[in-house]
Structure 1
Amino acid sequence: MVLSRFWLAIFISSILFILVGVSIGHHYGLDYIINGKKDDPIQIGEKYLNELPRFLQDSIQKADENTFVINRDTTNLDTSYVYKNKTVKIYSGVQKSDGLLPTCKSTVLDLIIPLIAYLAFFCGLMQLLIDSGAAEKLAKKLSPVFVKVFPSVPKNHPSISYMTLNFAANFLGLDSAATPFGLKAMESLQEINPNKDKASDAQIMFMCLHAAGLTLIPTSIIGYRAAENATNPADVMLPCIITSFIGTLAAFLIIGIKQKINFKSVSLITALMTIIAAIVGLLFYVNSLDLIGKNVFTSNLSGIMLVGIIGVTLVFAFVNEKKFVEQETTIFDSFVTGANNGLKTGITIFPYVLGMLVAISLFRNSGLFEIISNWIALFFANIGVAKEITDSLPVALLRPFSSGGSRGFMIDAMRQAGPDSFTGRLVCIFQCSAETTFYVIAVYFGSVKIKNTRYTLGAMLLVDLICVIAAILVAGWFF
């Protein structure tokens, strides 16, 4: 219900803001909101050539292809004048996001089709884990801990193994693998959900822990920093790990208190201390490496682990081939069955993802998001927050809405302030330490057709806020 109302609020407020903009002349036309593409110039006016100042008329007529660019304000994007068919079209600024129709198209071609392919492959592997008995064995090993975190989940339930694989994939930065594992976990948890339209406690806990995104190897962030010629692309690795761990711990405590989980459990404390020890050990190990060693470690570990997961799954399936025979199937047929289920899941979640992304597109292109983010940045600037932090806030504000949008702001911030500046490093930590909240809710709850998400959205946004505060503090500590 909360998500539905928020979605409606985004749509309605954006449309009203656009209509007001048209009525006061802020928008020259609305075609860019419907058909425009990200980074395209926005037309702000059209005049006859003789209506322009004389120096502009001369400059346009002398310019190549009758196009003249004037740097009206060094703090803003250039304004372009294009003379064609007796009129001069005036462009200024660029589009923040794809328009409605291009968003629909890109959602299918650039997001859903690749996602369905990932789902098909990894759901095929998960089917092998189920049929070979590996999932059952993994669930038995981890049941003592998961029963404490998810008291409503029966001991040795298959969802335990799926959640474990999802957390492990997130931990290693394997986004393509994490989503299929997570969707399978949600489907499994839905089987024991007494109210199919309402999110269960276990599903909410899983969603919030997943969204906190505890990351061991922020591979993509390191890659973007390397592309921007950072002196040490991996220097944000430790801050990213610490910040994402703080977010994960906050998510666990917030939801745990809400669900009255027993935090004094020996198995739970042991598991938590084991994770902390592993992270500390990793920090010491990585810190002992030189620059080349860090780059090799961060670029190879995730890939090795992914190949290892695939290899172990196939070998285990081969060793236990008799179990497939008992079920009157083969290893390959089992994989195909799982892949087919992944395909169906991808088709199911498509409308949910599309609805959310189109709303976000309208919100950004209307200009409303930019105004809100500027107000927030101005507020923090007036209370004494450093400019290096306020310049980073657009990434933090946009991250819950759009991974691609916040990534664009992150890259732009690194280019403007420098990848080795405080701003350049902070935006990377923001990008790494939080999840695309609205997209994740749409995908995961949409896959099992849950309508009432209860307090999930509020809890996830609170965790996002904690991650932002932690990122600022950790970045200040390190840099």
Structure 2
Amino acid sequence: MLLNRLWIGMFLVSLVVGIFKLLFLGETLIFKEIVDSLFDTAKLGFEIALYLTGALCLWLGIMEIGEKAGAIRILSRWVAPLFNHLFPELPKNHPAFGSMMMNFSANMLGLDNAATPLGLKAMNELQALNPQKDTASNAQIMFLVLNTSGLTIIPVSILAYRSQFGSANVAEVFLPILFATYFASLVGLIAVSIKQKINLFKPVVLAYLGSITAFILGLLWLLIQFPDLVDPVSNIGGNLLLFGIIIGFIVLAMRAKINVYETFIDGAKGGFKVAIGIVPYLVAILVAVGVFKASGAMELLFDGLKALLIYAGVQTTNFIEALPVAFMKPFSGGAARGLMLEVFDTHGVDSFLGKMAATFQGSTETTFYVLAVYFGSVGIKKTRYAAGLGLLADLAGIIAAIVISYIFYVD
């Protein structure tokens, strides 16, 4: 399994790099730094799970209200014509359709705090239909790859950080991120469809994908014609829409004469159990990344990549300094965000590298984090080809981000 090999490899490479630094460079504190990173990242894993406990309780409670009120069933019917083709093994109008659509919508709006609990809810519903409980089903793999490709229409958090660092044009990264994530999502969808022999050329599928493309292009045109709308759409639209959905669930529950408060409590009770269950998986992926970074292996990796590109005749390699953001994002969104902010602080938020780092942060998703947390929450050990195709979508997003950055950010 790719995740198993990668995890072992990161520890072994860190050991080799640490020994080299100790024996040949005289860095006597290198293994102290590696061990410290083990404990620091283990602590971070628990802190993330602790935060997720509250978020899970909140959103599982809200989703319980939506299910009892019939809102999830309505949402499932809206997306069923498309999802019946993309997830052929699921029963028609299954509640998982609604949960997956809610998760995708939260990701599109850049609302990470809502996306993870909704994704865990969807994964549990898909697991209920999975005949092999320790092995990822086709439907779960399709969901994971589409999730990790991370189509983002409104990158709320990235725009907020750019504003915090005093950007002269906060929304300048808006269009590049949208283009990069759309390309990553399209590659992920095509790759899984080929693997699972799903025909994407059926009229229904083409109609949905065409409508989504038309919506994105229409939004792009509107924001290009009226740039003053970018900030209101980014800062108000996504959050207002999400809160509106919550209010809609509550109103539907009131009409159905459901005890909203008790229903919320019933759903929220499962949040703590799910959060505790994912702690080992979170710690596992974060400690591997931590020792790899603390040993200096990551720095060597990118120095080697830069040298290789120069040797291959690539004249422009300045994007390499922002590339660690793209490399880290599949493992940890928080770590990638920290690297992005470091680029902002070192080179300037409106520098070429600053804007490219923001585009990298928005162009891919936390693939290994999602794999560890989502599959770990339902006890899946055999992930099959999910990691490979998820990384393929990430690679497509990274390449698109590099190309688009040179188109948009270079005069």
TM-score range, shorter chain: over 0.9
1:19-49 CA distance string (max 9 Å, x none): 34334454312333223xxxxxxxxxxxxxx
Residue 385 of structure 1: how far off its partner (Å): 4.0
1:90-116 CA distance string (max 9 Å, x none): xxxxxxxxx11122223223x111111
Given that 1:373 and 1:397 are in contact with CA atoms closer than 8 Å, whether structure 2 keeps it comes out as no
Given that 2:165 and 2:344 are in contact with CA atoms closer than 8 Å, whether structure 1 keeps it comes out as yes
One-letter code of the match for 1:376? L
Number of the residue aligned with 1:312? 248
Number of the residue aligned with 1:34? 35
Number of the residue aligned with 2:356? 426
Tell me the distance in 2 between the aligned counterparts of 1:406 and 1:188.
30
Matched, 1:295 2:225: no
Matched, 1:275 2:212: yes
For the structure 1 residues 385 and 128, does the alpha-carbon distance in structure 2 shift closer, same or farther, using more than 3 Å as the test? farther
Residue 2 of structure 1: how far off its partner (Å): 2.4
Number of the residue aligned with 1:68? none
Number of the residue aligned with 1:211? 148
Tell me the distance in 2 between the aligned counterparts of 1:26 and 1:203.
48
Q: State which drifts further: 12-21 or 225-234.
A: 12-21
Given that 2:33 and 2:295 are in contact with CA atoms closer than 8 Å, whether structure 1 keeps it comes out as no
Residue 266 of structure 1: how far off its partner (Å): 1.2
Given that 1:118 and 1:177 are in contact with CA atoms closer than 8 Å, whether structure 2 keeps it comes out as yes
For the structure 1 residues 371 and 308, does the alpha-carbon distance in structure 2 shift closer, same or farther, using more than 3 Å as the test? same
Tell me the distance in 1 between the aligned counterparts of 2:343 and 2:315.
17
1:157-207 CA distance string (max 9 Å, x none): 111010010011111111111111111111111111111111111100100
Give the counterpart of 2:76 among 132, 136, 139. 139
For the structure 1 residues 144 and 294, does the alpha-carbon distance in structure 2 shift closer, same or farther, using more than 3 Å as the test? closer
Number of the residue aligned with 1:440? 370
Give the counterpart of 1:372 among 301, 306, 320. 301
1:167-246 mapped onto 2 (5 Å cutoff): 167-246=104-183
Unmatched tracts of structure 1, length 5 or more: 36-98, 325-329
Give the counterpart of 1:248 among 185, 193, 197. 185
1:402-421 mapped onto 2 (5 Å cutoff): 402-421=332-351
Given that 1:138 and 1:161 are in contact with CA atoms closer than 8 Å, whether structure 2 keeps it comes out as yes
Tell me the distance in 2 between the aligned counterparts of 1:415 and 1:165.
35
Tell me the distance in 2 between the aligned counterparts of 1:400 and 1:101.
21
Number of the residue aligned with 2:45? 107
Matched, 1:148 2:77: no
1:314-342 CA distance string (max 9 Å, x none): 11111112xx4xxxxx3222211111112
Tell me the distance in 2 between the aligned counterparts of 1:385 and 1:131.
59
Question: Partner of 1:229: helix, strand, or coil?
Answer: coil
One-letter code of the match for 2:275? G
One-letter code of the match for 2:341? I
Question: Partner of 1:216: helix, strand, or coil?
Answer: coil
One-letter code of the match for 1:344? K
Given that 1:377 and 1:391 are in contact with CA atoms closer than 8 Å, whether structure 2 keeps it comes out as no
Tell me the distance in 2 between the aligned counterparts of 1:274 and 1:448.
33
Number of the residue aligned with 1:474? 404
Question: Partner of 1:391: helix, strand, or coil?
Answer: helix
Tell me the distance in 1 between the aligned counterparts of 2:46 and 2:345.
30
One-letter code of the match for 1:345? V
Number of the residue aligned with 1:82? none
1:433-477 CA distance string (max 9 Å, x none): 101221111001101110010011111111111111111121222
User: How many residues end up aligned between the 2 structures?
Assistant: 407
Tell me the distance in 1 between the aligned counterparts of 2:318 and 2:23.
36
Give the counterpart of 2:381 among 442, 451, 455. 451
Q: State which drifts further: 443-452 or 386-395.
A: 386-395
Give the counterpart of 2:321 among 373, 376, 391. 391
1:280-336 CA distance string (max 9 Å, x none): 111112122344x42232111122112111111111111112xx4xxxxx3222211
Given that 1:208 and 1:459 are in contact with CA atoms closer than 8 Å, whether structure 2 keeps it comes out as yes
Tell me the distance in 2 between the aligned counterparts of 1:23 and 1:449.
42
Question: Partner of 2:180: helix, strand, or coil?
Answer: helix
Matched, 1:462 2:400: no
Number of the residue aligned with 1:12? 12
One-letter code of the match for 1:149? L
Which structure has the greater CA radius of gyration? 1
For the structure 1 residues 385 and 397, does the alpha-carbon distance in structure 2 shift closer, same or farther, using more than 3 Å as the test? farther
Identity %: 38
Tell me the distance in 1 between the aligned counterparts of 2:105 and 2:227.
26
Given that 1:377 and 1:393 are in contact with CA atoms closer than 8 Å, whether structure 2 keeps it comes out as no
Tell me the distance in 2 between the aligned counterparts of 1:5 and 1:394.
21
Aligned CA RMSD, in angstroms, stands at 1.6
Residue 478 of structure 1: how far off its partner (Å): 1.9
Residue 420 of structure 1: how far off its partner (Å): 2.5
One-letter code of the match for 1:409? L
Bigger strand fraction: 1
Runs of 4+ with deviation above 4 angstroms = none
Bigger helix fraction: 2
Residue 258 of structure 1: how far off its partner (Å): 0.7
TM-score (norm 1): 0.82
Determine which structure has greater relative contact order: mean sequence separation of CA pairs < 8 Å that are 6+ residues apart, divided by chain length.
2
